[in-house]
Every structure is written in C-alpha cells, then in structure tokens.
Structure 1
C-alpha cells in the first residue's frame, strides 16, 4: 500500500525499492506526521494499533487531543515547539488506550516549517531505576547490599591508612601513587554511601564544573589498569561550557563506561576507545513530574569498536542484574543510568553497524554560574 501525505511535496522513490510512504507504513514504531496547525496528516499501521484507532479517525485529529499528557500539574507544552524533543518515561493517554508510559520523540521536518514526525515507543528503553517496583526479593537483596557495603568500608579505611604510612616511610617517593590510592579509597567510600541509598530519591549535590579533569582522571585510572592494553583516543570540544555535575558521580560514570568498553574489546584484534565531547544545540528532554523540559546540551560519548550489546538484552540494558557477560553482575550500567539521572541528565546506547562501533551517549545540563 502506498501512503501519500496531503499538502506535502511528493515522496521520492528509492531506486528499485519502496517509496518513503511505504517504508513509513512498515515501520515497527508508532509514527505520526503532524502539520503546523497540530492536526495529524498521516499515521502508520503501528500507530493505529497503539492508539486503538483507525487511520481515518486519527488523520485530521488534533495531536494534543489524541496524545494527552497524563501527569497532573504538567506545565510544559510539547506540541508548540519547533525544536527536537525527546520525552522519556512520560505517562500519556494515547487515543482510546488506557494510560501508558512511553518514550515520545518529536522531530521537525527539515525545510518544512512546522511539520513534525512523532514516534511513540510503548516500552520504555530507559526506565528510571528509582521508579521500579521493589518485590520482597529485591528488598532482601538491597538489605544484603547494605550489610556488604558496611563490611567493605572497614578494610577501605585500613588500605587508606596503609597508603599514608607507606608515603611517610618512603620519604615522599611515589607520592603520586599513594595519593592515587587515597583518592580512590575516598571515592569508593563515597560511592558506597551513595549505593546504600540506591533506591531513594535523595538529591545528588551538583554544581557547575569542568568535565575534562574528571574525564581525564577516569581515563588515567583506566589506562593504568583494566584498559592498559587499549588505545584511548580523546576528541574534546575546547569551547564546551561548564556542566551541572557531581564530581565523584561523573568519575564513576566514566570509569564504568570505560570498563564496559574495555571488556567488550577483549577479543578484538585492534581495540580502541574514543572519548568525545560536543555541545548540542536544541537537545531537550521532558523530565516529567510537571517540571517541564530540561535542556541537555553537554554531550559525552564513549565509543568502542567491539561487537556491541547482545540483541536480547537491548531493551533492558540499564536494568540491574542484566548483563551479556559470563562473569558480569549487571550493576555497572544500572549505576551509570542512576547517577546520570541524579545529575538531571540522560544516557543512551546506539550501534553503528557500518562503522562497527558502539556508543554510549551522556547528555548533561549546562552549569549556571
């Protein structure tokens, strides 16, 4: 079936292939095309299923009435913006369906002012760890984790004391290494304190800060240990402004992502990891709870040339205890997701099949001095 859009320039044909309209019809994601006046111009088959409405009823309807934000007291209007918008884990009433939680993407159509493509992902790919239900088993696991955290902190204090004694006995020799031990012990102790509140909504203290010393610190730890045989390449945007961050949290996030990349490169002949930064104009995420949309222009990329995440865990990649590694515990990426969200940011995974690269993308808010 060929789909045509009224008042839209003719869709081009791909050589020896289906038209763009036919491709839209076959998309596995619910997709709408919206006019400048917010009326829906087109809907694919998946949208009919998700909205529980026939295409004839969808086309011509007001998108704000067809997809209604369910959060009480919401002060934001996603339907009157010409910027790209990504709304993750947002509750909506869609068509004739009951309230559901979705990832909603709005992308302006280039050279057609006011026209937008809207996609709805019914199963969120980035659920908030703090909002997941906790069964009795999960509560027991968290109780055990709290006991384990307490037991770990005792030997940490001993390690720190030993490092200080070693530094004094060496007369200042190897001071950099002993200071590194002390710094890492302090960071791990702070992390354990944070892990004890893993399922709470306690606010993480953030401040405007320079991300580069923190990224370099994490890269230095990686290069001295788990990634010592892997080339780490840095491509930094020198004009990047301060981000709103927690220093220890960002270091931990970067260490976890670098370690994840290093483990993925175990059997790669020429392993490499790239760390890149950029400023992305117009990137915003609807944060929910009536708080409006957050602008997240600070981008950090961790890219590796490994085989990528196994297909069967993609939808649950940031959930605790989900891992594609034989000896993995499935907590590294869950903690990354938790800490990035605590900094009011967002993390996502993508795979470039042609380049043979996997990318973890962190988006953070800009720090206001």
Structure 2
C-alpha cells in the first residue's frame, strides 16, 4: 500500500479494514484496533465473518454475494459485531469491492455509540462555553460595584466607628462583600494563566496525591497504576494541579459524605491513540483516569456536571469541574465522565502531539 494512502487511512476516525477474496482481513487501521479492542495482528488472523454476529442473517447473505461480478456495494445499519457474542457493539457498516491484481472488500465501520458520543461532546462544549461566558459576564457586573460597597462600609466605620451598632452592620457588609468577591474570582477563573513548560504528568498527579493523602489522614486508600513510558507534556503545572485537586477532592467528599465502606480512589495513566477531541483527531494522547467506588453521580445532573454552579452536594459551589474543564481545554484536551453506583470515573485526556487532523466525524 502506498505510504501516503496508508497515512491517510491511519488518520481516519472511521474503522477501515480490507479483506482478501476469502474474507480474511489483510489490513486494519488504528481506529479498527480501538473499535474491536484488539491489535491489528489479531484482526489479521480473523475473517470478516468472524466479527459479525451470526444472527445478522441479512448481512451474511449480502456478504456471500459481495465478491461476485457487478457488485455495487451496500450499507447496513445497527449491526452487532464482536468476537464475543455476549459483548457486541452496534455499528453502521459500508462494504464495497476493490479489484485489480487481487480482489477483496473494503469495509468501513462507524460505532453508533461513538457517533452519539461525538454529538454529545459537541453539544456539551457549546453549552459549556455559552454558560461560562454568561457566568463570567455576570461576574464582572457583580464585581464592579462590590468594591464600592466595601469601600462605603469602611468609610462608614471610620466616620461612625464609635457607635457599636454601626460597627456591627459595617462588619457584616465587609465580610459578605469579601465572600462575594472570592466567589466572583472563582467564577472568572485564572485571568493570567502561567506559561507552559515541559512536565511529567506523574509529577503533577503525585504532588496532588501527597496533599490529599495528608488531608484524609489515610482514611481513603489511593491506588496507582502508572505507565512510566509516557512522555512529558507542555503544561501549566499549577493550573493542572488545580484540575486534579478539584476532581480528587470531589471524589473524597463523595466517599466521605456517603460513608462508603473501604473507600478507594484509583489513578491510572495510559497512552491512547487516535482520540478525537473538540473536532480534531490527535495521533497520541495521555489519559489520566480517576476512579472512586462511591455512590455515583445522580442521573439528573450528569449532563450538566461541567456547567458552573451545578452540584449535588449541599455545601458545594459547583465550580470545581467547570474550572477543571476550562483548564484542560486550554491544553487542547477534554474531560470525560462515566458514573454509576459504586464506580465513577473522570478521564482527563491531553494530546501529546500537535500534528492533528480535522475529523470527518465532526
């Protein structure tokens, strides 16, 4: 296969496979590896028919005609594929014929779940940006008069300081003004981000874990599963520490408030290939997964957990995940979340390389 053509196929978010005249898989791209969860060498030991659920009778019949002359190709929707019949995935599949020196099939596969995920990410990002801009504009409008209110209270205190009742009132005004200023500053987020520098993601995570371990006094077990081969990234180290503090602190609070037995937080780092983030496909990314065995996030707020001021905790302000998402997006990354009772995982995904491709899925 020409190098340019192979490079293009490897860059696609769509899973592509080629078969020979007996349906044996002779090529599978990176997206096909990810879709089926196996290496291309394993895929090349299989036939296309091995991956298709035997209950898909119409598809199997069409495949039996696929290598005949005048074959025009066909598409099939909501097809169950996978080696294990009890663990299949639903996909859309397009099959066409190629010929020349050899004859075989070109198979294009798109995961329905993947398509839904991309659509959800687009919607979430749009809504997150809109909500963030609205909150920041509102925060600016609140912050401007706060200084004047605090200053007026201080002036009253200086002028009528001898009157005890006036001092009581001005003290409340000043304290509440300072509290609102802190809240507004959190809403606005960092106004002057630190410069990026090369750093190891494990250094950042370890620094946060050392702080959290001291704070929890060994009441929560931290389990680490690191990939030591991961390269350094260009990071705003302080901001990225804040990201992991926000996520891990949320997990600690959820475990503590729910009185979870044997509370555990597991941190795993891995390299992932071909991730599509905010409409761009990156060859390689680093994924830091933070998993707790707590009660899970209520379904009612799951679609909105990255919005400002959204929280399920009575004492939470709903800013931690919104700030974390903003920081990660500044690093061209994203945060994903999966949650059910007994297991909640936040995955911070950060691209390693800058040479990206605009995804045809977006």
- Shift in Å at residue 317 of structure 1? 1.6
CA displacement 1:115-173 (0-9 Å, x = unmatched)? 21243334446425763157877633344368889x9xxxxxxxxxxxxxxxxxxxxxx
Which one of the candidate residues 267, 279, 284 is aligned to 2:275? 284
Correspondence for 2:200 among 179, 197, 210:
210
Q: 1:116 to 1:268 in 2, by over 3 A?
A: same
Q: TM-score normalised to the size of structure 2? A: 0.53
* Gapped regions of structure 1 (runs ≥ 5): 1-6, 14-18, 23-34, 46-57, 63-111, 152-191
Verify the 8 A CA contact 1:227 1:259 in the aligned structure 2. no
**Normalized against structure 1, the TM-score is what?**
0.52
In structure 1, what is the Cα distance between the partners aligned to 2:207 and 2:269? 15
Which is higher, the Rg of structure 1 or of structure 2?
2
Structure-1 residue corresponding to 2:254: 264
How many angstroms does 1:332 deviate by? 0.7
Quick one: distance in 1 between partners of 2:260 and 2:281? 40
Could you list the structure 1 runs, at least 4 aligned residues long, displaced by more than 2 angstroms after superposition.
7-13, 19-22, 42-45, 58-62, 112-115, 118-126, 128-131, 133-149, 192-198, 202-208, 292-296
What is residue 43 of structure 1 aligned with on the other side?
Answer: 77
Distance of 2:253 and 2:214 partners within structure 1: 15
Structure 1 Cα separation of the partners of residues 335 and 348 of structure 2: 4
Matches within 5 A, 1:89-238: 114-119=107-112, 120-121=115-116, 122-124=119-121, 126-127=124-125, 131-132=129-130, 139-144=137-142, 196=188, 205-226=195-216, 228-238=218-228
Query: How far apart are the structure 2 equivalents of 1:40 and 1:331?
Result: 49
Report the counterpart of residue 82 of structure 2 in structure 1.
none
Asked if structure 2 preserves the Cα contact closer than 8 Å seen for 1:227 and 1:262, the reply is no
Partner residue of 1:305? 293
The answer to whether the 8 A contact 1:203-1:342 is kept is: no
Instruction: Work out whether residues 222 and 228 of structure 1, in 8 Å CA contact, stay in contact via their aligned partners in 2.
Output: no
Q: For the residues of structure 1 that align with 2:314 and 2:289, how far apart are their CA atoms?
A: 26
Task: Return the alpha-carbon distance in structure 2 between the equivalents of residues 305 and 332 of structure 1.
Answer: 20
How far, CA to CA, are the matches of 1:256 and 1:301 in structure 2?
Answer: 14
1:329-344 to structure 2, matched below 5 A, reads 329-344=317-332
* Cα separation, 2, equivalents of 1:367 and 1:237: 18
Kindly indicate whether the alpha-carbon contact (under 8 Å) linking 2:199 and 2:235 is maintained by their aligned counterparts in 1.
yes
SS in 2 for 1:364: strand
- What is the match of residue 159 of structure 2? none
In structure 1, C-alpha distance between the alignment counterparts of 2:298 and 2:106, rounded to whole Å: 39
1:9 aligns with 2:43: no
Assess, with a 3 A threshold, how the Cα gap between structure 1 residues 218 and 145 changes in structure 2: closer, same or farther: farther
CA distance, structure 1, for counterparts of residue 212 and residue 301 of structure 2: 26
User: What is the aligned counterpart of 2:266 among 268, 271, 274?
Assistant: 274
TM-superposed CA distance for 1:218, in Å, is 0.6
Distance 1:235 1:339, change over 3 A: same
Q: Distance in 2 between matches of 1:205 and 1:342?
A: 11
CA distance in 2, matches of 1:256, 1:364: 17
Counterpart-to-counterpart distance in 1, 2:57 and 2:297? 31
Q: Which residue of 2 aligns with 1:16?
A: none
Return the offset for 1:196.
3.6
Unaligned runs of 5+ in 2: 1-22, 24-47, 59-65, 67-72, 80-91, 97-104, 150-183, 355-362
